[in-house]
A and B are shown apart, each in its own frame.
Chain A
Amino acid sequence: LAKTTQPISMDSYEGQEVNITCSHNNIATNDYITWYQQFPSQGPRFIIQGYKTKVTNEVASLFIPADRKSSTLSLPRVSLSDTAVYYCLVGYNAGNMLTFGGGTRLMVKP
């Protein structure tokens, strides 16, 4: 199972762009990268998923370099409501995308 490593915490200010990087050195050929967001007292919420290069949706962008050994979640112009824990998971099917790492605790300040 691909293991992921993320910074424990990050601080930012409202209106800034936030980039959270996840390392997954032993990612397999068929693995995708999935990011979740979790607010206090709620279940994790799917944000974005990608395989290579760049994926963008209405919430975030995901940048994946050619070697796919890392990925960066980019949140444009964060607000206070983006304060949450962000988890990076790697895997292809339900059987190997069940291990959550420590996540990154993002604190957005006014």
Chain B
Amino acid sequence: SAVISQKPSRDICQRGTSLTIQCQVDSQVTMMFWYRQQPGQSLTLIATANQGSEATYESGFVIDKFPISRPNLTFSTLTVSNMSPEDSSIYLCSVVRRQIRLAGGLETQYFGPGTRLLVL
């Protein structure tokens, strides 16, 4: 498994401001992902953050709104810019680890605890 922490755990923000969410992993990982989970909904992938390259964004998400940094193999940040109430969600980071015990080394995702954001 992986130990993942996120900061802040929750925040209440005013519209028009920006919030940067941090994700820290207990060991080096190649791939990190950022998800959004709106109230009562499933998880939606925002982007893939690989160290040393630009983040890859999914349809409907753009870098200007959700800039991502990945300065090393254990850390990443997601910024929610120019927030509006529609950005109120839980934001989750995840990492991928290989299941060494399984033949072929299947990869499994492990998730952080999430950051609960409320925009007023």
* Contact A42 B113, beta carbon cutoff 8 Å: yes
Please name all residues of chain A whose beta carbon is closer than 8 Å to the beta carbon of B108 when the two chains form the complex.
34, 46, 49, 97
CA distance A7 to B106 in the complex (A): 27
**A94: interface (CB < 8 Å):** yes
**B14: interface (CB < 8 Å):** no
Please name all residues of chain B whose beta carbon is closer than 8 Å to the beta carbon of A101 when the two chains form the complex.
42
Of B64-72, B78-86, B88-96, the one touching chain A: B88-96
CB nearest neighbor in B for A89? B109
* Contact B110 A94, beta carbon cutoff 8 Å: no
Question: How many chain B residues touch A (Cβ–Cβ < 8 Å)?
Answer: 24
Interface 1/0 per residue, A35-55 and B, CB below 8 Å: 000000111111001000000
CB distance from A31 to the nearest CB of B (A): 10
* Contact B42 A87, beta carbon cutoff 8 Å: yes
**A98: interface (CB < 8 Å):** yes
Contact among B42, B90, B106, B111 for A92, CB-based, below 8 A: B106
**B118: interface (CB < 8 Å):** no
**A26: interface (CB < 8 Å):** no
* Contact A98 B42, beta carbon cutoff 8 Å: no
* Contact B45 A46, beta carbon cutoff 8 Å: no
Describe B's contact surface by its main secondary structure. Answer: strand
**B62: interface (CB < 8 Å):** no
CB distance from B44 to the nearest CB of A (A): 8
Q: Which of A32, A94, A100, A103 has the most CB of B within 10 A?
A: A94
Interface residues of A in 11-65 (CB under 8 A from B): 32, 34, 41-46, 49
CA distance A99 to B108 in the complex (A): 13
* Contact A94 B114, beta carbon cutoff 8 Å: no
* Contact B111 A45, beta carbon cutoff 8 Å: yes
Report the 8 A-B pairs with minimum CB-CB distance, sorted nearest first.
A43-B111, A94-B96, A100-B43, A100-B42, A94-B107, A43-B114, A44-B111, A43-B92
Enumerate 27 A-B pairs (CB-CB under 8 Å) in ascending A order.
A41-B90, A41-B114, A42-B113, A43-B4, A43-B94, A43-B111, A43-B113, A44-B43, A44-B111, A46-B1, A46-B109, A46-B110, A49-B108, A87-B42, A92-B106, A92-B107, A93-B107, A94-B33, A94-B96, A94-B109, A97-B107, A97-B108, A98-B33, A98-B45, A100-B42, A100-B44, A103-B42
